[in-house]
Structure 1
Amino acid sequence: MHLVNRNFLTTEEVYQDLFHKIETLVYMPGVRISENDLCETYGVSRHIVRNAITQLKAQGLITVYPQRGTYVSLIDMKLVEDILYVREAVEQEALYRVIDLSDTTELIDHLDANITEQKKIISHEITVDDFNTADTAFHRNLLNAVGKGNVLDLLKEEYVHVKRWKNFELRDEKRYEQIIRDHQGIVDAIKKRSPLDGRNALHQHLDTVTNLRDVFTTANPEYFIRP
């Protein structure tokens, strides 16, 4: 969003811009946020900035320490793990139903096309945002196939914490290739109509906390809440 060149920004616009920057790690976990700097950047009053910060604080994205200042919240891996646990339960049930469908031809065509789009990230033909959009569409296609396309929207507000974790993962470009392989494994299981292969592939794909937490939290402990 290009807000700094606009006049008369609302609290909602400032909030949305800050939200996006926190989600995409423009503002890294633990970085200090200056109200004065934000007022100057957006050309708005302190009242508008404080209202936006209040909303972000309510979502657990901002932490205010009395006498110390305002900071972007550290990534809470226990919260991320809990949200992904719920998501996997939903998608495992959806995948089980997908494999039981009488005709998955159209779905497989959509998923194959989606993976082709995702692969463009490797040659830098698409952006990280484009990749994330394609990734989301892949999973929504699975849910749409069994009439549950909107279920993940129930987790939308909380899911920003997972997205921060995911965007942290994607700073390692090797993760793109692994995600694409995971998606291909899910599609292969649907083609083979193998519930066990599907379950294993989806678990491998979504259980990133177990697979990667120690790798990143050890290398960059300053960005994470310590257990």
Structure 2
Amino acid sequence: MKEQGLRQPTSLQRTGAGSITSQVHNLLMERILSMELKPFDEVSEARLASELGVSRTPVREALARLSRLNLVDVYPQRGTFIAPISIQRVAKARFIRESLERPLSRLAAEKITPDMVQSLAREIALQKTFASLDDHASFLKSDDTFHVLIARAAGMHDIWDDLGEIRIHMDRIRRLSLLGKARMNAITAEHEGIFEAIRDGSPGRAEDCTRQHLLSVFTDLDAIRAEHPEYFHDSLASARA
């Protein structure tokens, strides 16, 4: 079983034990979401502490946080492993996302302001640029921002923060997709359709465009799962339980 640490020395800002723990947590979270740390990889607490130049305590606390998010499996006397992607958790995230985003786009079309129109238009322009540059990572971040802006336009500013844990499990599978320019352009076109409906104050059309977009997104997720079955597990419990 492959044991993983951090590939490059990382400098942490030493502003208190809690802050160090948060920094270690964030570093590991990003490595898990980016698939640098893959499902079933073993993570060494001692090695991480050595590479980061910290004691084992903040590393242990960071891994405990990740365990509570179901991203890490900790087995006493056996080791710590990156958790497989749970199909059930992804399905739950899909259900919640569809349940939220369709009414959010309708509300956004009803409440849209000129400032928010500008913000959404700016994000569409950024997505076109990232697609032309074949910048997959920046495109995914802009994709997230676009949907956050729709929630804000609907008057639900903090709704994505409230669903952070749910979104994490969908983000893991999204990061597996290596979107080419054609797919990024297609997603941007779908976003543009949603934007235009919201901008025009057309709630029904905005909801319908969102429904079509989510069908496309979920088809992508199913294709990713089929391409990387080794990273998934069918039940909520880890395959190592």
Mark the CA change 1:163 to 1:200 in structure 2 (over 3 Å): closer, same or farther: same
Mark the CA change 1:183 to 1:36 in structure 2 (over 3 Å): closer, same or farther: same
Tell me the equivalent position of 1:48.
Answer: 58
> Which consecutive residues of structure 1, in runs of 5 or more, have no partner in the other structure?
none
Tell me the equivalent position of 1:4.
Answer: 10
With 43-52 and 206-215 compared, the bigger mean Cα shift is at 206-215
Shift of 1:80: 1.9
Q: How does 1:26-105 map to 2 (within 5 A)?
A: 26-66=36-76, 68-101=78-111, 105=114
Matched residues in 2 for 1:209 and 1:125: separation?
A: 19
Tell me the equivalent position of 2:149.
Answer: 141
Which residue, out of 109, 122, 125, partners 1:116? Answer: 125
Query: Share of identical aligned residues, percent?
Result: 29
Matched residues in 2 for 1:214 and 1:133: separation?
A: 21
State the aligned residue count.
224
AA of the residue aligned to 1:12: S
Shift of 1:67: 5.1
Which residue, out of 19, 29, 46, partners 2:29? Answer: 19
Shift of 1:157: 3.1
TM-score (norm 2): 0.78
Shift of 1:66: 5.0
Which residue, out of 165, 168, 192, partners 1:157? Answer: 165
Q: Secondary structure at the match of 1:157?
A: helix
Matched residues in 2 for 1:116 and 1:105: separation?
A: 17
RMSD between aligned residues: 2.9
Matched residues in 2 for 1:196 and 1:62: separation?
A: 42
> Which consecutive residues of structure 2, in runs of 5 or more, have no partner in the other structure?
1-7, 236-241
Deviations 1:171-219 (A, max 9, x none): 2325423321221121233356554443232123334674134422222
Shift of 1:12: 2.3
TM-score (norm 1): 0.82
Matched residues in 1 for 2:174 and 2:121: separation?
A: 22
Contact 2:131 2:139 in 1 (8 A): no
